[in-house]
C-alpha cells in the first residue's frame, strides 16, 4: 500500500486484517522524517518510493527503488542532468498512423517531474537490462521519462501522450519502441493502432486497463451500472497489434493465473502451479470503495476485497 504497509490474501480473495510494514533503510527513513514518502508501485518485490515537494507544481524531491526483502536501494537521479543547455540532446518523432509529434530530451537544463505511474521492464536485479518508465504530470501536461542504470539523468518525452486514446467509436493504442544510442535511452518510433471492440464505446461507464499476460497484451474492460456505482460486467480481450486496425479475441480463462488491475499498475501472476489459488481471479484496486473487488472468471462472481481499506492507502 502507499504507506509501505502490506496485507495477505485469504484463499477466497479477501484481504486479511493483520498488516505489516516494510521497514525503510536508514537513509530513506531519515528522508521520510517530518514528511511522507509514498510507495507508488511495486514490481517483483521491488518498491518505487518518492518524496514529494510541498506544493502542487514543484515535483518530486527524491525517488528510489527498494527491494522489499533485502532492502537494497537504487537511488534514481533527478530529471535535470546538465548544467549547460548545450549538453541537451533532443529528438522529435511524428506519430505514425496518428497525429501529433513526440519530443524527447536528454540532459534538459531544468525539468519538473511528479511521478504518477511507474513501470519496470524487468527486475533491477538484472542490472543494466532494467528500464524504468515513468509517467509524470505537471500542470496538466504529460511527460514520459525513461531511465536505466548508468544514466545520470532521465530521458524526458514531451507531448500529448495517451497510452489508450478514446474516440466515439474506436480506441487508439500508442505503441512505443525504445532504442539506446550514445546519449542514452530514446524513443525511436511511435505508432497509433486502432482498436475496435464490439459493444465497447469508451464511455464514462467503462474503465479500460492494459496488462501483460504470458507475453500477450490484454485489455480488461470494466462495465459499471447507472451512475457508475457498481461493476456489472468484466470482459477480457487479447490484442494483436501486428495489424492496423489491431485484431482482438475475447478470452474466458486465465489458465489458473490471477491479475491485479488498477489505474496505476497492472500485473499478472502465474499461480497455476500453486495449491493456494486454483481459480482465474482478477483483483480490481481502482481506489474507489466499490472498485476494490475480486472477480472470478470461472463463475462470474464478484466479491468485495475488504471493507476497511481507506482510500489514501491504495
Which tens digits make up the pLDDT trace of 124-146?
886 667 888 888 766 667 778 88
Give the least confident one: 151-160, 166-175, 234-243, 272-281.
272-281
The bridge status of strand 258-261 relative to strand 247-251 is unpaired
Above pLDDT 90, what percent of the chain?
3
Strand order from edge to edge, sheet including 132-138: 115-120, 132-138, 141-147, 155-158, 101-106, 89-96, 184-195, 171-181, 164-166
- To the nearest whole number, what is the mean pLDDT of the chain? 75
pLDDT at residue 106, as a whole number? 77
Q: Which residue do the cell numbers 536508514 mark?
A: 26
String of DSSP letters for 248-308: EEEE---TT-EEEE-SS--EEE--TTSSS--S-EEEE--SSGGG-EEEETTT--EEES-SS
User: What CA–CA distance (Å, rounded) separates 174 from 48?
Assistant: 25
DSSP SS3 for 107: coil
Kind plus residue range of the DSSP H or E element containing 31 = helix 26-32
Which tens digits make up the pLDDT trace of 25-83?
888 777 666 567 888 888 888 998 888 666 555 666 678 999 998 889 998 887 654 45
pLDDT band at 85 (very low <50, low <70, confident <90, very high): low
Does 277 have pLDDT greater than 50?
A: yes
User: What CA–CA distance (Å, rounded) separates 51 from 39?
Assistant: 9
Mean pLDDT of 242-270: 81
Indicate the DSSP class of residue 30. Answer: H
Indicate the DSSP class of residue 246. Answer: B
Total residues belonging to the chain: 314
* Neighbouring residues of 262: CB distance < 8 A, sequence distance ≥ 6: 209, 284, 285, 286, 287, 314
Give the least confident one: 39-43, 150-154, 253-257, 303-307.
303-307
User: What CA–CA distance (Å, rounded) separates 237 from 188?
Assistant: 28
Closest CA to 65 of 53, 78, 74, 56: 74
pLDDT at residue 66, as a whole number? 92
Cα torsion angle, 82, 83, 87, 89, sign: positive
pLDDT at residue 36, as a whole number? 72
The dihedral over CA atoms of 182, 81, 59, 264, expressed in degrees to the nearest 10, equals 20
Mean pLDDT of 212-223: 86
User: What CA–CA distance (Å, rounded) separates 69 from 65?
Assistant: 12
pLDDT at residue 82, as a whole number? 47
Mean pLDDT of 286-305: 73
User: What CA–CA distance (Å, rounded) separates 145 from 224?
Assistant: 33
Does 292 have pLDDT greater than 80?
A: no
Mean pLDDT of 237-264: 82
Mean pLDDT of 2-31: 74
- Are 297 and 273 in contact by the 8 Å Cβ rule? The answer is no
Which tens digits make up the pLDDT trace of 157-190?
765 444 565 555 566 778 888 888 777 788 888 8
Which tens digits make up the pLDDT trace of 102-114?
888 876 656 667 7
Does 308 have pLDDT greater than 70?
A: no
Amino acid at each position: 500500500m502507499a504507506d509501505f504497509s502490506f496485507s495477505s490474501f485469504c484463499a477466497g480473495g479477501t484481504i486479511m486484517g493483520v498488516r505489516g510494514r516494510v521497514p525503510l533503510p536508514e537513509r530513506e527513513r531519515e528522508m521520510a522524517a517530518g514528511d511522507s514518502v509514498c510507495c507508488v508501485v511495486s514490481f517483483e518485490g521491488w518498491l518505487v518510493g518518492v518524496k514529494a515537494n510541498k506544493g502542487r507544481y514543484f515535483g518530486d524531491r527524491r525517488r528510489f527503488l527498494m527491494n522489499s526483502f533485502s532492502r537494497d536501494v537504487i537511488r534514481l537521479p533527478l530529471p535535470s542532468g546538465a548544467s549547460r543547455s548545450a549538453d541537451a540532446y533532443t529528438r522529435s518523432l511524428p506519430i505514425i498512423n496518428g497525429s501529433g509529434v513526440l519530443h524527447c530530451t536528454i540532459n534538459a537544463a531544468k525539468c519538473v517531474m511528479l511521478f504518477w505511474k511507474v513501470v519496470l521492464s524487468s527486475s533491477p536485479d538484472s542490472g543494466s537490462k532494467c528500464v524504468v518508465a515513468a509517467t509524470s504530470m505537471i500542470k496538466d501536461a504529460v511527460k514520459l521519462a525513461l531511465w536505466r542504470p548508468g544514466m545520470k539523468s532521465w530521458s524526458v518525452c514531451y507531448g500529448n501522450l495517451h497510452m489508450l486514446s478514446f474516440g466515439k467509436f474506436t480506441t487508439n493504442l500508442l505503441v512505443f519502441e525504445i532504442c539506446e544510442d550514445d546519449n542514452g535511452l530514446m524513443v525511436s518510433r511511435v505508432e497509433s493502432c486502432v482498436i475496435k471492440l464490439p459493444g465497447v464505446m469508451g464511455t464514462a461507464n467503462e474503465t479500460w486497463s492494459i496488462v501483460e499476460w504470458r507475453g500477450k497484451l490484454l485489455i480488461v474492460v470494466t462495465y459499471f451500472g447507472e451512475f457508475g456505482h457498481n461493476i456489472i460486467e468484466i470482459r477480457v480481450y487479447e490484442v494483436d497489434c501486428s495489424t492496423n486496425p489491431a485484431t482482438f479475441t475475447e478470452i474466458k480463462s486465465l489458465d489458473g493465473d490471477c491479475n491485479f488491475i488498477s489505474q496505476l499498475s497492472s500485473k499478472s501472476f502465474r499461480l497455476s502451479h500453486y495449491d493456494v489459488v486454483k481459480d482465474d481471479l482478477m483483483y480490481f484496486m481502482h481506489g474507489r470503495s466499490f472498485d476494490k473487488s475480486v472477480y472470478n472468471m470461472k463463475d462470474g462472481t464478484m466479491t468485495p476485497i475488504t471493507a476497511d481499506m481507506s482510500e489514501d492507502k491504495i
